[in-house]
Amino acid sequence: MLRDADTAMKNLLWFMGSRNSHLYMSIRRYIDKLDITYSSQINSTVETDERFLITASAVTLALRPFHITNFDVSSIGQLDMCCAAEQYCLCLLTIPWFIQRLPAFLIPALKHQSILSPCFQIFLIRRDKMLSEMLKMDQSDRHDSQKAIPPIGWALTNIICLATGSENGFVDTLDHPSYVQVVITLAENLLAWVDNVGWVKEKKDLQGNVETSAAGIDAVLHDNESLNITYMELFRPVCQQWHLMKLLEIAKTGATSCAAANDKKYLGKLELLDIAYFYSYMLRIFSVFNPMVGSLPVLNLLSFTPGYLLNLWGELENSIFPENGHIAEDNCLRTSKSLVNKKDGILDKRQKQTSKDGANKLVNALHKFTGKSQAGPNYTDTVDGQVDEESSDVWTIESLRYVPQGISKDLSCLLHLFCAAYSHLLLVLDDIEFYEKQVPFTLEQQRRIAAMLNTLVYNGLNHDTGHQNRPLMDSAIRCLHMMYERDCRHQFCPRVLWLSPAKRSRPPIAVAARTHEVLSANMRSDESLTVSSLGSVVTTTPHVFPFEERVEMFREFISMDKVSRKIAGDVAGPGSRSIEIVVRRGHIVEDGFRQLNSLGSRLKSSIHVSFVSECGLPEAGLDYGGLSKEFLTDISKSAFAPEYGLFSQTSTSDRLLIPNAAARYLENGIQMFEFLGRVVGKALYEGILLDYAFSHVFVQKLLGRYSFLDELSTLDPELYRNLMYVKHYDGDVKELCLDFTVTEESFGKRHVIELKPGGGDTSVTNENKMQYVHAMADYKLNRQIFPFSNAFYRGLTDLIAPSWLKLFNASEFNQLLSGGRHDIDVDDLRKNTRYTGGYSEGSRTIKLFWEVVEGFEPKERCMLLKFVTSCSRAPLLGFKHLQPSFTIHKVACDSSLWAVIGGQDVERLPSASTCYNTLKLPTYKRSSTLKAKLLYAISSNAGFELS
């Protein structure tokens, strides 16, 4: 009789768990109507509350079928035994804020192993069926705001809340491998749902169906911001360090799932790859559903959890770099083959080497902290000089040739997570940590990472990446740009590394330029159009083209612009359409500003300049046919001089130009910066070199890039050292008596500026010192010069398109503006020199001239070039691009026969007409005289007046 009663009870419980009973659906409807804040409203009298008793009874009924004796998920044939877990997952775990609706004392029962384990196991075994049913679940009774998140999304958060305890840890006896696999499965399908809804919205928008497209995910999410915030709060446990550390510990120990062994596809040992999938999906979910903060909480966790990035890179290194590959053998990398080929012990060896290198260089770092070193950090010796610039195959990674479609889903996941996390860490990693302490990676590893990113992005842009690969490409591009920017500031990679992916597949310059311009025009007219691979490469990775080719591309852009303006009727020669201005020699900046600043992009056209001498008399015959080169160089010479007050010089040895903070107090100060931007734009547009160079930080603003802490070393090394001292200070920072203010002095007055509201009353402490360091750097690098750089940028882009500027980094921009290396190729200059006034290549004086120039020191040759052209550097692509051509004009002033016999030569000095790049050279008979006169002339820094 007891046996019959037991059998009857089991049959009843099986029936309760079956679909036919509709038990779970009924409980779902009831719990779904409960107040979301129900658990927080329970008080001492709650036991008498009728609703409380009903809720407790409902939960008890829902859990009772799980306690059937010998419940065994492996008995899949007995469907009724597993149906309860299936119905529990489908009906209850998909309820919005399921845990938050229940009394607090009932939650431990839901977290018990006897409930969670069967649910995880059944879900993984029947995943396809259950996911399909979740997607089809009726949400007609939902409020519109709740429809923004599908049942799959609620199942995901409810499982996370159940698996994590309230005291910063997982629930006891949790099946961690199964938990991770369930979260991965639900997260992947939630993101697929988001992509599908977004795709439907975009498709319907293109068809003009406004009413239907309004239900797209973007509109719903943005209209329900409060829902997103409260929904994302449920993901908080996965952003805690204990969560990641525990999973890494389990993966390291090799613990396996306690699930049934009959389906090894989903169940088994927890691997590092599983954790990577887990957090890769979390990154994307936070980006979609948390638009205000984005994936920052997850990135903070991944970047700052000790050893995690090293683990990720160890997996990638073994997957990407082939055994006995070129990079491992190259002498540029001192990494041994064992580092590439042996998986065990990689991290220990790296950490020991890093520790040793850091200890050896600690003394140097301390000198920088304490200010004993008066020079800024110099890391140019970190790149081995033995690398053959032509052997770019060394840096070609064959395993990434056909990315992203040609790589496995597993490798794609690892790459996405590593790129996202490392780019986030690079934001706060200072140069001492990167170059000297070499944490978290050695410089050899950094070169491998740079080569990997460069190859991945270039090949990814050259193939149809597809929407599903967008997260990987976005994170890889961001990380690549940060590595390249750091290398531009302090080189750690050989130049050939950046060129290697495109060595065999670069298109012709003209083709690349024309394709880029057409696509840019299409993007401006219709942002929904997809940019082709060629346009993407030029825009995103211009550094894969050699600098000389990018200069040619820049010139091609300008030529195309001139042609289009000519077709449109905007180009006119000296005549009715040319703009005439009159400029006084003693007021060249003021007159130029008054007459030209309002022209905007019309400065591309020809300008007829008439000069008035300092005596007030018109100068005849100057500049017909375009903006005078002399006017352009003279106005820049005056306006960029520190004495004028608009620009000052950096405290570094190269004395680069940076906007003067005091310029804001000058009359028309901001407008003057906008005007000077147009002057520089005109010089670039016409190919006229200006003998000036701007600071790296200022150019970064013109290129549309934000400057970070370590770029302060190129602007103010002393301030940088002081901030590094504060950052690494071991004692109590309060002893330094700092607050969140900075003091500026201008025209004899001191101005105290707060770095944040109430900064004068906020002391710098150990807790907020990082905030202070970055606030101070942000002010000096970004906020202080923003109004000036913004105005300069507006003027510059009136003539030079922003996309043209982005072909270059900061150093290259200065070369584009002021020319090439600090020496002259005499042979190239000789081949491209014109002779007038009676001189020819065979003239005696001309032969003597070239002999003398070849014997000059490099500095003297540069002085000669500046004397003649007003710029000390040669054109980037050679003297054939110098406009007008370098010219030597004969000045006939022969000495008498008796003077020659007596050892005398011509006494007259050489002179120059810089507006025509012309050297006026007397007919000297002796090389010694020519050399002496020429050196005297070029050292006097004068021109016409020497005549």
Instruction: Return the exposure string of 149-174: e unless at least 16 CB atoms fall within 10 Å of the residue's CB, then b.
Output: bbbbbbbbbbbbbbbbeeeeebbeeb
Distance CA 154, CA 98 (A): 8
Q: Which helix (H) or strand (E) holds 536?
A: helix 533-540
Give the bridge partners for 754, in sequence order.
741
Distance CA 719, CA 930 (A): 49
- Report the C-alpha dihedral over residues 556, 557, 559, 562, rounded to 10 degrees: 180
Q: Which helix (H) or strand (E) holds 88?
A: none
Count Cα atoms within 13 angstroms, Cβ side, for 365: 20
CA angle 855, 856, 860 (to 5 degrees): 175
Decide: 243 and 297 in contact? Cβ < 8 Å.
no
Give the pLDDT confidence score for residue 575 in this predicted structure.
Answer: 42
Catalytic residue among 89, 91, 332, 915: 915
Q: Is the peptide bond before 440 cis (omega within 30 degrees of 0)?
A: yes
Give the bridge partners for 921, in sequence order.
890
Distance CA 700, CA 485 (A): 10
Distance CA 382, CA 188 (A): 43
Decide: 539 and 516 in contact? Cβ < 8 Å.
yes
Distance CA 906, CA 896 (A): 9
Nearest alpha carbon to residue 694 among 776, 785, 775, 774: 785
Two structure tokens written together for 72: 């065994």
Two structure tokens written together for 352: 């020991």
Give residues with Cβ within 8 angstroms of 694, minimum separation 6: 656, 657, 658, 702, 810, 813, 814, 817
Distance CA 551, CA 921 (A): 33
Give the pLDDT confidence score for residue 284 in this predicted structure.
Answer: 93
CA distances from 845 to 517, 860, 863, 886, 895 (A): 49, 19, 20, 17, 14
Decide: 18 and 80 in contact? Cβ < 8 Å.
yes
Give residues with Cβ within 8 angstroms of 309, minimum separation 6: 302, 303, 418, 421, 422, 425, 440
Backbone phi, psi, residue 896, to 5°: -70, 160
CA angle 52, 56, 58 (to 5 degrees): 115
Count Cα atoms within 13 angstroms, Cβ side, for 912: 24
Nearest alpha carbon to residue 502 among 392, 404, 407, 419: 392
Distance CA 947, CA 929 (A): 17
Count Cα atoms within 13 angstroms, Cβ side, for 766: 5
Q: Which helix (H) or strand (E) holds 122?
A: helix 113-125
Directed axis angle between helix 629-639 and helix 669-686, to 10°?
140
Alpha-helical segments (H) within 380-526:
409-426, 431, 443-461, 470-489, 495-499, 509-525
Distance CA 298, CA 284 (A): 10
Q: For the chain, count helices (H), then strands (E).
A: 42, 10
Distance CA 736, CA 776 (A): 15
Distance CA 769, CA 310 (A): 27
- Report the C-alpha dihedral over residues 792, 795, 798, 803, rounded to 10 degrees: 0
Give the pLDDT confidence score for residue 94 in this predicted structure.
Answer: 94
Backbone phi, psi, residue 781, to 5°: -90, -30
Give residues with Cβ within 8 angstroms of 861, minimum separation 6: 823, 824, 826, 853
Give the pLDDT confidence score for residue 156 in this predicted structure.
Answer: 97
Question: In 484-601, which ranges are E strands?
Answer: 579-584
> What is the chain's length?
947
DSSP string, 182-244: HHHHHHHHHHHHHHHHHHHHHHHHHTT-HHHHTTSHHHHHHHTHHHHHHHHHTTGGGGSHHHH
Distance CA 638, CA 631 (A): 11
Nearest alpha carbon to residue 905 among 835, 844, 830, 840: 844
CB atoms within 10 A of CB 945: 7
Distance CA 102, CA 87 (A): 19
Q: What is the CA radius of gyration of the chain?
A: 36
DSSP class of residue 619?
A: P
Is 419 an active-site residue?
no
Two structure tokens written together for 717: 């090394």
**What is the 3 state secondary structure string of 286-310?**
HHHHCCCCCCHHHHHHHHHCCCHHH
Nearest alpha carbon to residue 712 among 787, 779, 809: 779
Give residues with Cβ within 8 angstroms of 540, minimum separation 6: 457, 461, 477
Q: How far is CA 39 from the centre of its chain?
A: 45
User: For 203-233, what is each residue's pLDDT tens digit?
Assistant: 344 333 333 333 334 444 444 567 778 899 9
Give the pLDDT confidence score for residue 278 in this predicted structure.
Answer: 97
Give residues with Cβ within 8 angstroms of 399, minimum separation 6: 319, 320, 321, 322, 407
Nearest alpha carbon to residue 131 among 5, 17, 266, 235: 266
Nearest alpha carbon to residue 659 among 773, 778, 569, 792: 792
First to last CA, the chain: 130
Distance CA 846, CA 828 (A): 15
The single residue listed with the structure tokens 């003693």 is 586
903: left (phi over 0), alpha (psi -120 to 50) or beta: left
- Report the C-alpha dihedral over residues 869, 874, 879, 883, rounded to 10 degrees: -40
Please give the average pLDDT of every successive group of 10 residues along the chain, which has 947 residues. 66 69 88 70 50 86 74 46 84 92 89 89 91 81 64 95 82 91 96 75 40 38 65 92 94 68 58 95 92 89 94 92 49 32 35 40 36 42 44 74 83 95 91 92 95 92 75 93 92 93 80 74 50 71 92 91 84 57 88 90 84 78 57 90 92 88 87 95 91 92 86 89 92 94 82 91 93 92 93 96 92 90 87 94 93 92 90 87 90 63 72 88 90 90 45
Q: Is the peptide bond before 404 cis (omega within 30 degrees of 0)?
A: yes
Decide: 57 and 3 in contact? Cβ < 8 Å.
no
Two structure tokens written together for 102: 């229940």
